[in-house]
Structure 1
Amino acid sequence: MNNQSIDLQISTDVFNGDPSSRFNPINTGFYFIKSSTKMTSLFQKWYDMRKNSTGMKEQDVLVNLVRQGVLSELGLNARFLENLYFSGFCRDSRDVRLVMTVHANCCRGIEAKVIDLKAILRDWKRFKDEKSKGNIGVLGNTTNGFRWPSSGHLSCLNSKKKYRNL
């Protein structure tokens, strides 16, 4: 993340293979920015647009801005991060050994997020313990019965049903 020409690096729900494609479905669960007036302009535009986008989540507002070309309009270089390294509940990483962050943006409600993030932490500790014993092979998610997350994000899945029925 030390490329000085990149202004914004942001996680994705599903990485389309091109780190510069504005059509990667972004996820604001993790982003890294280079402080600049251009970035301040992006955040101001995002904030202003959010105020005028009734019923939309702030992430959806940014998705629309990016797809409409706001990054090139402001002269910003962006890198969309592969979810292999920046995992989330929208899509689990294929290899738990490579994950740097996990976010719960695709989950509705704080209670469900906390429950499933605790399950992720429990699974991560179990993975590290198995790894230290030499029991994890080539692909951490599938070798020796390890499945990440073991809970399948059940609280998150149930929260989506709950909010859909309101």
Structure 2
Amino acid sequence: MRDLGLRRWQSLSLTAAFFIVLLCFLLFHSSEFVRSGSRRRILLKPPTSHSEREELDQVLTRATMPDRTVILTMLDEAWASPGSIIDVFLRSFKVGEGTERFLNHLVIIPMDAKALNYCRSLHPYCFYPSIFSHYLRIIAQPTTSPDDNVFIWKRNYVLLQVLELGYNIIFTDADVMWLRSPLLHFHPQNELTISCDFSSYEQRGGNVQDGGLFFLKSTAISIEFFKYFNFMKVLYPNSRVNRSLCSYIVQNQDVVAAYGFRIQYVNTTYFGEFCHRNRYQFREVYSMHANCCEDLRSKVHDMELALHDWIRFRARSSDNYTWKPTAFRWRAPHKCLIS
């Protein structure tokens, strides 16, 4: 009972401290923006209104699986046009092995108005939090991929809102191709199931690459943990560690233990990525993440190439002819390595 009371007191103290620091942060950076013309994006609006939470809940209710699990992805204007990332992403569900049904459980979160309009032309479940439109922005040269820092701010905001509504989350980056159902590798007894690339931990200065796909269970523990994670983003907005969920977990094991936040690491063999060319076997891989590629055209080209290889593999494996699956090699990434 004493530990429970202490935890509740810590939770209340943390919540109060979070809003105090957030207010100070916004006031300081808002004035800095006016003085210097900074390109910062500043969050100006308080948490989601009651009506908007109801709207979000309605979308999630329509898309949820029987166990209250939804699939979420986020989309910005650079990835939302004909022949762009989102088109390849959605097509991967249709050519994947047993994955097309997941489109009925996918909710796309556009990050801007253009992405919202394109999303609505493609998919029935699109939700645009009004809080996203309250970022101060100076029009600059369009980027080819989402700004990492802003993306994590927005992603964590959405994750917390959905968790608080009682939904489990399969979060996927929009440049991840779904080739098989990953549900087999998710462990609902844990708060988080994630694939983290530890292979180049030292070369990246202690930063760990996320696999682009993870499962998050809605529990009181996960909600409090993400409140704390967001709090750290307020205190250290430019920290590289806080931009990666894997990096944050690895370098804050004491926080993970204090919250009792249970984590299951998935073997990276099953969740492929462009960072490691041809390391993944067709018979083992469940998804392919088009990371390590900044140029938009190169990324789309290589995602298309990977899907074409996958379609060839599935067609060949269904033939009656004798063949060696080990003879198949991913041609992607190709342009991403030379861009």
Change (3 A) 1:62 1:95: closer
Tell me, in whole angstroms, the C-alpha distance in 1 between the residues paired with 2:314 and 2:219.
39
Choose from 240, 251, 258 the match for 1:67: 251
Output the amino acid matched with 2:257. S
Structure 1: runs of 5 or more not aligned: 16-22, 160-166
Tell me which of the two structures has the higher relative contact order, counting C-alpha pairs closer than 8 angstroms and 6 or more residues apart: 1
> Does 2:214 match 1:31?
yes
Give yes or no for contact 1:49–1:61 (8 Å, CA) kept in 2: no
Choose from 98, 112, 133 the match for 2:284: 98
Tell me, in whole angstroms, the C-alpha distance in 2 between the residues paired with 1:44 and 1:156.
36
Change (3 A) 1:13 1:2: closer
Choose from 275, 284, 304 the match for 1:118: 304
**Cα deviations by residue, 1:51-74 (Å, 9 ceiling, x for unpaired):** 423163754365134322132121
RMSD of aligned residue pairs (Cα, Å): 2.9
TM value normalised by structure 2: 0.38
Output the amino acid matched with 1:101. S
Tell me, in whole angstroms, the C-alpha distance in 2 between the residues paired with 1:125 and 1:113.
18
**Cα deviations by residue, 1:66-97 (Å, 9 ceiling, x for unpaired):** 32213212101111111111111123553211
| Bigger fraction of residues in helix | 2
Q: Secondary structure at the match of 1:102?
A: strand
> Does 2:155 match 1:155?
no
**Cα deviations by residue, 1:9-40 (Å, 9 ceiling, x for unpaired):** 0012247xxxxxxx994515010011112212
Change (3 A) 1:128 1:28: closer
Output the amino acid matched with 1:84. T
TM value normalised by structure 1: 0.71
Tell me, in whole angstroms, the C-alpha distance in 1 between the residues paired with 2:245 and 2:187.
27
Residue in structure 1 matched with residue 271 of structure 2 by the alignment: 86
> Does 2:233 match 1:50?
yes
Tell me, in whole angstroms, the C-alpha distance in 2 between the residues paired with 1:114 and 1:101.
16
Structure number with greater Rg is 2
Output the amino acid matched with 2:237. S
Change (3 A) 1:28 1:85: closer
Change (3 A) 1:35 1:90: same
Tell me, in whole angstroms, the C-alpha distance in 1 between the residues paired with 2:216 and 2:301.
29
Tell me, in whole angstroms, the C-alpha distance in 2 between the residues paired with 1:93 and 1:27.
17
Percent identity between the aligned chains? 28
Cα offset for 1:155? 2.6
